[in-house]
Structure 1
Amino acid sequence: MAGTFKQIRRRIWLILNILVVLWLLLGVLSMRVPPYEFWPAGFVAFSLPGALVLNFLFFIYWLLKRSWYVFLPLAVIGLGWNHYGRLVSITWDKELPEGAKTLEVLSFNVHIFNAYERIVEGVPRVSEEMVDWVATHPADVFCLQEFYSRVNSTEYNNFNRIGKRYNRHVFASTYQGDRVKADLGIAIFSKYPIVRGNTIRFPNTPERSANRAAWVDINVKGDTVRVYAVHLQSMSIKAEDIENTYSAIGDEESFRKESRNLARRLRMGFRARAMQVQQLLDHVKTSPYPVIVTGDFNDIPFSYTYSQLVGELNNSFEKAGNGVGATYNGPLPFLRIDNQFFSEGLEAYDFKTHYEMPLSDHFPISATYVIKPKEE
């Protein structure tokens, strides 16, 4: 009798493992479907990390049981290793080639330097600390999303505090907003000369919107590199939205209302970002120079947006980072929504997520690139 129950239990676990594999395959396929054509694909792809983790747990389970069923999750891990690499990166330290020409790029959604938290009383002290951290960082290029600078303020003119004070070149794609006349948007600061730059405006996006992209061509000791700073459509999910959903558990009507609210916002974001990333990539493909695409993409590595980007470019975290690399400093843990991508002609040698700077709702990320010598 005990042997019969044991056999039934093994079959149940095997069926569950097969269902997880099917879930995983469906998730991988969903990442290739534009959410503006079939929005449910966005939700299936969004759930893919759960399938990857469960498949790995089944691998451990069958391994401990010394069952030949272990080859099922093992085969999935082998075939889908690049997707596990999106979840967790393990790379070895690389030594820079002697005489290599390098470029370090910092990307940071600075959350308006927290100015909105006390807009009537003025910019709070935490903003000063964040500005000073950015200004003194050793990176060669800063790509700042949700940048904020007071127009008529010497003390809070962040163009001066980050750029002019340190002899950095600057290109800004901003709009003027709020009651104290501030510039808001994207700012790119560079140690090296900025040859040219422009803005990419996304369709169906208001003029006064932080969701945009900017690009600059930078002359790095005789070589030109095009750098993009990107801020795609936000998820528009606040901490209280998640808290309200959790607190509504047990109240069927309230939970249904809060869940629908979250789903609606996610659906709108999936569709908008899918269209925006296509416009961005169309522009990237026209670049005559090697490119680095940085910013707040507001999408996880298991999304149509991310898949389109890694289809054309390399991801710096995957090539030179370690760990989970979470960049969202909010109520949803382990989210990596800030990224840096790079093209041929460059190689990533180091990638860091700066957890020592927790004052924004995003953590800064930086990567060091080697500019490969041009072929004769």
Structure 2
Amino acid sequence: MSTTFKNIRTRIWLILNIAVVLWLLLAVLCMQIPPYEFWPAGFIAFSLPGALVLNFLFLLYWALRLSWFVFLPLAVMVLGWDYYERLVPLGLVKELPPQDAKTLHILSLNTHMFTAYEGKERRTAGVSTEMVDWVAAHPADVYCLQEFYSNPKSKEYNYNIISRIGTRHGKEEFFSAASSNRKHGDLGLAIFSRYPIVEKGVIHFSEKSSGNRAIWADLNMDGDTVRVYATHLQSMSIKAEDIENTYTSIGSDEESFKREGRNLARRLRKGFIARGYQVEMLLEHFDDCPYPFVVSGDYNDIPFSYTYNELNKKLQNAFVKAGSGLGATYNGPLPFLRIDNQFYSQGLRAYEFEVHYEMALSDHFPISAKYVLEPKTEE
């Protein structure tokens, strides 16, 4: 009787393991599908971390039972190691650059307008001077800042952040303003560089003026040219209270839960579709870039998405190559989300990556990476 029960239990666990493998394969397939062609693919791809974790748990389960079925999750783990690295890179091997190599240190941050609009209902809005000073003091060669806010005409407060971050510290700047408020404050994307900016431009994702865009700057690094992109892809427009309302309605108010759930799903779907178009516009621009380049910013998408996957096909991810751990960059009610990234092309190599959890004044944590400019190969 016990042997029969044991066999039945083994079959059930094996069937469940196979189901997880099929789920994993489906999610990987959905990452290849543009969300604007089939938007449910975005939600299925979003679930891939769950399948990866369950597959790893099955690996432990079969190993502890000394079952040969362990080879099923093991094979999946080996073949899908790239996806496990996206989830939690180990960062075991880091090759430092030669002493005479040219290096580039890039900081990226969604500044959340330096909290300029925080508390506006109480008429106590004010730029976070602590965040501005932290950025200005950071030793990076280049800053790529999203939701950048500056108001040089402000008399009540010193809101000329371009001067406070760039001019005073000898950095050249390129600021692309997407909108202005009635008090002459400008909001957009900015690149600050200690290297001379020799060329620059803007990539508009739509005909309407929007903070969701990309800017680029070509930098003269002592005779070599490197391009840096700062980008901000389509936001979810999901507020912290939306998530909290969904949490609190679970089990207490079924109608409210359905309403909040549909609201979140609708915004997620809109974001998936918009970013699908936007990342393809970025990739087209990359194809015409004659220099090594880094593209950094707020992608508003996790590593298991069409957006990330398309970038990862052509570029390297600095966190995967030089970071370790979970690397969460979203400072909000949804934990463990990594939606800020730095990707880089051939001709560069990332050798250090850091998420700056010590600066928690924005709804994003700053990220920084160091690159070495590889020697040119003779053709």
TM range (shorter): over 0.9
SS at match of 1:322: coil
User: Structure 2 CA distance, aligned partners of 1:314 and 1:265?
Assistant: 29
User: Structure 1 CA distance, aligned partners of 2:277 and 2:88?
Assistant: 27
Match of 2:166 in 1: 163
Q: In structure 1, which of residues 323, 327, 346 is the aligned counterpart of residue 348 of structure 2? A: 346
User: Structure 1 CA distance, aligned partners of 2:363 and 2:2?
Assistant: 54
User: Structure 1 CA distance, aligned partners of 2:29 and 2:206?
Assistant: 27
Match of 1:27 in 2: 27
Q: Which amino acid aligns with 1:233?
A: Q
Match of 1:142 in 2: 143
Which string of whole-angstrom CA distances, capped at 9 and with x for unpartnered residues, describes residues 120-144 of structure 1? 33415xx100000000000000000
Segments of structure 1 that go 5 or more residues without pairing to the other structure are none
SS at match of 2:272: helix
User: Structure 2 CA distance, aligned partners of 1:182 and 1:129?
Assistant: 19
Residue 260 of structure 1 and its aligned partner are, at CA, apart by 0.7
Q: Which amino acid aligns with 2:324?
A: N
User: Structure 1 CA distance, aligned partners of 2:248 and 2:53?
Assistant: 26
User: Structure 1 CA distance, aligned partners of 2:141 and 2:284?
Assistant: 26
User: Structure 2 CA distance, aligned partners of 1:54 and 1:9?
Assistant: 18
Structure 1 segment 133-212 matched on structure 2, within 5 A: 133-153=134-154, 155-203=158-206, 206-207=208-209, 209-212=210-213
Question: Does the 8 Å CA contact 2:203/2:215 hold for their aligned counterparts?
Answer: yes
User: Structure 1 CA distance, aligned partners of 2:375 and 2:75?
Assistant: 39
Residue 342 of structure 1 and its aligned partner are, at CA, apart by 0.5
Residue 340 of structure 1 and its aligned partner are, at CA, apart by 0.3
User: Structure 2 CA distance, aligned partners of 1:56 and 1:13?
Assistant: 14
User: Structure 2 CA distance, aligned partners of 1:95 and 1:373?
Assistant: 15
Match of 1:227 in 2: 228
User: Structure 2 CA distance, aligned partners of 1:136 and 1:226?
Assistant: 23
Which string of whole-angstrom CA distances, capped at 9 and with x for unpartnered residues, describes residues 207-252 of structure 1? 1x21110000000111000100000001111111111112222222
Match of 2:324 in 1: 322
User: Structure 2 CA distance, aligned partners of 1:229 and 1:198?
Assistant: 11
Which string of whole-angstrom CA distances, capped at 9 and with x for unpartnered residues, describes residues 275-304 of structure 1? 000001100110010110000000000000
Alignment partner of 1:56 is 2:63: no
After TM superposition, where is structure 1 displaced by more than 6 Å over at least 4 residues in a row? none
User: Structure 1 CA distance, aligned partners of 2:124 and 2:334?
Assistant: 30
Residue 167 of structure 1 and its aligned partner are, at CA, apart by 0.9
SS at match of 2:117: helix
Q: Which amino acid aligns with 2:213?
A: R
Q: What is the number of equivalent residue pairs in this alignment?
A: 372
SS at match of 1:146: strand
Q: In structure 2, which of residues 306, 312, 316 is the aligned counterpart of residue 310 of structure 1? A: 312
User: Structure 1 CA distance, aligned partners of 2:199 and 2:99?
Assistant: 30
TM-score normalised by structure 2 residue count: 0.96
Match of 2:83 in 1: 83
SS at match of 1:116: coil
Match of 1:123 in 2: 126
User: Structure 2 CA distance, aligned partners of 1:52 and 1:358?
Assistant: 29
Structure 1 segment 252-331 matched on structure 2, within 5 A: 252-331=254-333
User: Structure 2 CA distance, aligned partners of 1:175 and 1:200?
Assistant: 12
Segments of structure 2 that go 5 or more residues without pairing to the other structure are none
User: Structure 1 CA distance, aligned partners of 2:255 and 2:110?
Assistant: 36
Match of 2:3 in 1: 3
User: Structure 1 CA distance, aligned partners of 2:154 and 2:287?
Assistant: 40
User: Structure 2 CA distance, aligned partners of 1:358 and 1:132?
Assistant: 14
Alignment partner of 1:14 is 2:14: yes
Residue 104 of structure 1 and its aligned partner are, at CA, apart by 0.3
SS at match of 1:107: strand
Alignment partner of 1:95 is 2:96: yes
User: Structure 2 CA distance, aligned partners of 1:122 and 1:48?
Assistant: 40
Match of 2:66 in 1: 66
User: Structure 2 CA distance, aligned partners of 1:122 and 1:76?
Assistant: 52
Residue 374 of structure 1 and its aligned partner are, at CA, apart by 1.9
